[in-house]
Amino acid sequence: MTGSENARLSMNSDPSAGTQSNDADDELPSGFLYAGVTCGIKPSGSPDLSLIVSDTPVVAAGVYTQNQIVAAPVVLSRSKTPSNSIRAVVTNSGNANACTGEQGMKDASEMCHLVAEHLGCRAENVLVMSTGIIGKQLPMDCVRQGIRDAHQQIEHTTAAFLRSAEAIRTTDKNLKTEIATIHVGPRQFRIAAMAKGAGMIAPNMATMLSSILTDAPLTAEMAQESLRQAARCSFNRVSVDGHTSTNDTLLLLSSGQGTPLNTAELSIFQQELTKVAIKLAKQLVADGEGALHVMAIRIDGAVDEAAAEIIARTVAASPLVKTAVTGADPNWGRIVSAAGYADAQICPEKTSLKICGTTIYHEGTPVKFDEAALSAKMKLSSEVSIVLCVGGGPGTVEYWASDLTTEYVEFNSEYTT
């Protein structure tokens, strides 16, 4: 048996486009309806309420922020997953409903109750997500109208899927979506995923929301473990600014009917789910606030995978490394020294570094290279590869981070004022 991904929806797709062809709509997982509307939460007038609805109860799993300060919608959704009886996911953008006390919990609960009333199910069958500015109460009159409007517009079309993805954006410049088809022997399943996030992005999730939908038949336990593994290799290995948010939520919903995947089939599904998650996670980094480059970091030769991840995370978080990449400066000293202060063992005399395929440091010693040529290559590359070998061990990991620009500083210094 083989697994393959053969359909992708561009993150730059136009959400205002008309309904797509039946062929395009058939690429979406069966059993889900979508809507995205403007209800007035955002002063800009941009879409700000998204609704995903299942025809029947579906399996749902979730992975959430590791921050101790947790938004009300995270508390609610985390208490409901894993589950085999979810009917909908409602998401608002423009307001995080975080640090909003008892009223915030009431508002998040009301969002679930309102959707449940329209669907004829219980509030326990509805998941909720929020993203935006922290510490402000939700304008519930807007939210109530938005849920009514969204329910009237739900449909199983690519255009509706894109509108739903559009409505979860905050500071994102681009839509972040992926669609894949998986072949498992004679059977075919689909995955459709959307995400948002451009700032407050750090390992162990960040200001990111994502819903991944599939019609592959999974149990709740399968879905939870598959999502956990996918998150470990994707959303937990990206960083924009090292700031873990209060609202991170990653959901996996399965509408699949019939016999759940067997062990071999589940392995193929896991591979494809992880591929989709990695693509979405890399889109978060590429869309990082003010970012010019993605730093594609690979650590080899660590004592184990955990050590490799610590080193990668340390390199990715270094402001000196980030600004060197912004300035197209092949500054090997910043990268190597960051690995040296990481809380993981390295072998200095076996440490080597390549940037954009050019070796600039080998087994503890700098080597001659054409600095001007490499700088020009870095400047023109949207993705700057950094391959750092820190010894002879088996530990290896891939990690993605954005660079650090003056635009990021300016944007975030003015975000709420």
Chain mean position to CA 125: 23
Whether 100 shows a pLDDT value over 90: the answer reads yes
Predicted local confidence at residue 292, as pLDDT: 85
Tokens of 328: 């197209």
Arithmetic mean of pLDDT, 395-407 = 88
Q: What is the pLDDT of residues 61-98, one digit of tens each?
A: 999 988 888 999 999 999 999 999 999 999 999 999 99
Q: Which of 223, 233, 215 is nearest to 276 (CA)?
A: 233
Predicted local confidence at residue 203, as pLDDT: 46
Element (H, E) at 86: strand 83-95
Query: In this structure, are residues 203 and 237 in contact, taking their beta carbons and an 8 Å threshold?
Result: yes
Q: What is the pLDDT of residues 271-330, one digit of tens each?
A: 999 999 999 988 888 776 667 888 999 999 999 999 999 999 999 989 999 999 999 999
Active site residue 207: yes
Predicted local confidence at residue 378, as pLDDT: 96
No. of helices (H) and no. of strands (E), the chain: 12, 15
- Spell out the residues 6+ positions from residue 289 whose beta carbon is closer than 8 angstroms to its own: 171, 198, 199, 240, 241, 407, 408, 411, 412
pLDDT tier at 407 (50, 70, 90 boundaries)?
Answer: confident
Calculate ∠ Cα 215-219-223, nearest 5°. Answer: 75
Which letter, b or e, does each residue of 388-416 get, where b requires 16 or more Cβ atoms within 10 Å of its Cβ? bbbbebebbbbbbbbbbbeebeeebeeee
Predicted local confidence at residue 34, as pLDDT: 98
What number of other Cβ atoms are within 10 A of residue 142's Cβ?
Answer: 19
Between the alpha carbon of residue 308 and those of residues 85, 240, 389, the distances in Å are 39, 19, 10
Residue 137 to residue 254: CA distance in whole angstroms? 32
Q: Which domains does the chain have, with CATH numbers?
A: 22-286 (3.60.70.12), 294-413 (3.10.20.340)
DSSP label of 155: B
Query: In this structure, are residues 328 and 372 in contact, taking their beta carbons and an 8 Å threshold?
Result: no
| Residue in 81, 131, 170, 207 annotated catalytic | 207
Query: In this structure, are residues 194 and 161 in contact, taking their beta carbons and an 8 Å threshold?
Result: yes
Predicted local confidence at residue 81, as pLDDT: 97
Whether 386 shows a pLDDT value over 60: the answer reads yes
pLDDT tier at 123 (50, 70, 90 boundaries)?
Answer: very high
Predicted local confidence at residue 363, as pLDDT: 97
What number of other Cβ atoms are within 10 A of residue 213's Cβ?
Answer: 26
Query: In this structure, are residues 205 and 78 in contact, taking their beta carbons and an 8 Å threshold?
Result: no
Bigger pLDDT: 407 vs 221: 221
Q: What is the pLDDT of residues 257-269, one digit of tens each?
A: 999 999 999 999 9
Predicted local confidence at residue 66, as pLDDT: 81
Predicted local confidence at residue 198, as pLDDT: 57
Residue 27 to residue 276: CA distance in whole angstroms? 14
Predicted local confidence at residue 235, as pLDDT: 87
Q: Which amino acid type is present at position 40?
A: G
Predicted local confidence at residue 185, as pLDDT: 81
pLDDT tier at 16 (50, 70, 90 boundaries)?
Answer: very low
Predicted local confidence at residue 14, as pLDDT: 43
- Residue carrying structure tokens 């759940």: 260
User: Residue 97, by phi and psi: left (phi above 0), alpha (psi -120 to 50) or beta?
Assistant: left
- Spell out the residues 6+ positions from residue 111 whose beta carbon is closer than 8 angstroms to its own: 73, 90, 92, 126, 128, 143, 147
- Mean per-residue pLDDT over the chain, rounded: 89
SS3 224: helix
Tokens of 89: 């996911």
Predicted local confidence at residue 106, as pLDDT: 98
Q: Which of 113-117, 171-175, 236-240 has the highest mean pLDDT?
A: 113-117
Predicted local confidence at residue 256, as pLDDT: 95
Residue 411 to residue 401: CA distance in whole angstroms? 18
Arithmetic mean of pLDDT, 174-179 = 91
> How many residues are given for the chain?
417
Instruction: For residue 82, say if its preceding peptide bond is cis, omega within 30 degrees of 0.
Output: yes
Q: Give the residue ranges of DSSP H helices in 247-304.
A: 263-286
Whether 32 shows a pLDDT value over 90: the answer reads yes
What's the whole-model pTM score? 0.83
Query: In this structure, are residues 396 and 308 in contact, taking their beta carbons and an 8 Å threshold?
Result: yes
